[in-house]
Structure 1
């Protein structure tokens, strides 16, 4: 990313004519990746197939920072993998593994300068909102996200939105094009960001041209990592308390990419799970998921866990062995 100069309308402007506003933030109380998957919906597909890639920028601003939670931080993602981090304490953009070992992907000095400019604008917007509501005493969070997607080497989607204290605040609609206020205070933000019509057109150009161009530039350094496939390990356990049903749990872990099919079968027929089904990051670049069913203690039918994942040549079936039931 080229270095940006700070403009006067609340956006950061890019050399080459495409702007960015202060970008996005994610609630510090919710894991960033989970919040992203919930917020973005179809704009950032959960299942990244070969030829499908996304670039996302996530920002968080806090009015009252505390230890471990700086006033501002930014994380950039390629697909679901974080590839650099910046915060208001270090004020430097730092690539994350495995990109920390890659030479030539980005000019990190220029990226740091860019993030510092965005930090100033982002926190200024948070301050404006607090002034509107005349609330300087409370603890407030400003959130936002922007990014784009490529499918088969063509631009196929983009998103750009903000939230204040967990509520939708403003979003950019590139089809109009215009900023769409979703909160009373956002009317002022809209007027500020649309003071000059050229900035609206630049925002549209950023989503449709510049962001996909950046993603194209990053991919030669990233495809091997983003396209990798890691097969799930599977653990099947059971537990029964006297007078209660048996509880069977199937845990799949250490798999990538994220999308997985996981369900129990009884004598070959699918069973509806009592709980589970969520797919969560494991903290090491892979994912985990589980499903739980309850079985009547007198039921002697065979139960198996059925697993489908892109890394597997064929679905995996793991039977539950009553002899290994947890005591």
Structure 2
């Protein structure tokens, strides 16, 4: 199944603003072995805050600080459980509807939804989105400007006409995505400030598979994910022979990144002219690691460390993709947070196809 995964890196060099997000992912599946028929997860800044699946049929929180939400709203889990139970039936029906639209019978089928918003804490710019997919392809998406639905496939045109005719629901969807959702981003940030707004510096290592392989500068355990990493020669950043990796998730909520340097044409006596630089948003001092053969880890154990951490991060991304779309992607709200997120509106965003 083709799944679109977009990883966004905000560069420190350009003093980029901090973007926070609240997203909900829904996946309904048919005949997928060892996977629940229905799964939901809510995420703040790409960290899961709650979860529900058809095996347990019970909403659960995923972050310690969510106990503060429940303290203000004791019915949070019970109410969400009932909402997700309703969604579970709608999504199951939608798979059957879409199977008929696509002239399908049995086999593995997956219906996915991602909706939510991003909020820029400097410009206050808001971006909302609602996207639906079927069997790994875009099925229908919400156009915020026109308050109508976009159908990239012929089989979605019926759904588009049906949903476009409900103008009141479309307006309510836009209001939620552009007004209510950003307010809840701020509130959740306020609840989870110590976790979501924390700063953690990484452990930086130099790794090399063989003496002729590129040298990898690997940083792991940093937070937030707004970081830059590059090689410098004689104090100047350069890119020749450099291969920069993406920022990846670690299982503990921190991040990792690596950048490779090809030293094939660099004589050993010139190695001292090179250094790896790591910059983390909000931290004034750079972490600088001099290119020194004596500190490069070349043993198989060292290689296993980076391979295992990268695999763990890739597995996490795949799991998140399997339960929804990862697409398109220090101010906080000081007011006391209201106790209930408007899930009634969210229910109306997920009608039958």
Q: Which has the higher contact order (CA 8 A, sep 6+)?
A: 2
Partner of residue 66, structure 1:
33
Secondary structure (helix, strand or coil) at the match of 1:295 reads: coil
The 2-side partners of 1:159 and 1:307 are apart by 33
The 1-side partners of 2:108 and 2:195 are apart by 39
The 1:277/1:114 distance shift into structure 2, 3 A limit, reads same
The 1:50/1:93 distance shift into structure 2, 3 A limit, reads farther
The 1-side partners of 2:290 and 2:152 are apart by 51
The 1-side partners of 2:116 and 2:247 are apart by 22
- CA deviations over 1:174-232 (Å, ceiling 9, x no partner): 21110111111111222332343322222222212332343344343123322111111
Secondary structure (helix, strand or coil) at the match of 1:150 reads: strand
Q: Which moved more, 1:272-281 or 1:175-184?
A: 272-281
The 1-side partners of 2:104 and 2:293 are apart by 60
Contact between 2:20 and 2:44, CA under 8 Å: does it hold in 1? yes
Partner of residue 280, structure 1:
248
Contact between 2:126 and 2:182, CA under 8 Å: does it hold in 1? no
Runs of 4+ aligned structure 1 residues displaced above 6 Å come to: 45-51
The 2-side partners of 1:187 and 1:46 are apart by 39
- CA deviations over 1:35-61 (Å, ceiling 9, x no partner): 6644xx69xx79998874321101112
The 2-side partners of 1:81 and 1:46 are apart by 21
Number of matched residues?
288
Residues 1:317 and 2:317 aligned together: no
The 1-side partners of 2:173 and 2:280 are apart by 38
Contact between 1:50 and 1:227, CA under 8 Å: does it hold in 2? no
Partner of residue 132, structure 2:
162
Partner of residue 114, structure 1:
83
Partner of residue 193, structure 2:
223
Secondary structure (helix, strand or coil) at the match of 1:148 reads: strand
The 1-side partners of 2:32 and 2:43 are apart by 23
The 1-side partners of 2:72 and 2:257 are apart by 33
Higher percent of residues as strand: 1
Residues 1:266 and 2:233 aligned together: yes
- Any unmatched runs of 5+ in structure 2? 300-353
Which residues of 2 match residues 78-97 of structure 1 at below 5 A?
78-97=44-63
Higher percent of residues as helix: 2
The 2-side partners of 1:260 and 1:280 are apart by 11
Deviation at 1:276, TM superposition (A): 4.1
The one of 236, 244, 264 equivalent to 2:206 is: 236
- Any unmatched runs of 5+ in structure 1? 1-26
Q: Which moved more, 1:203-212 or 1:270-279?
A: 270-279
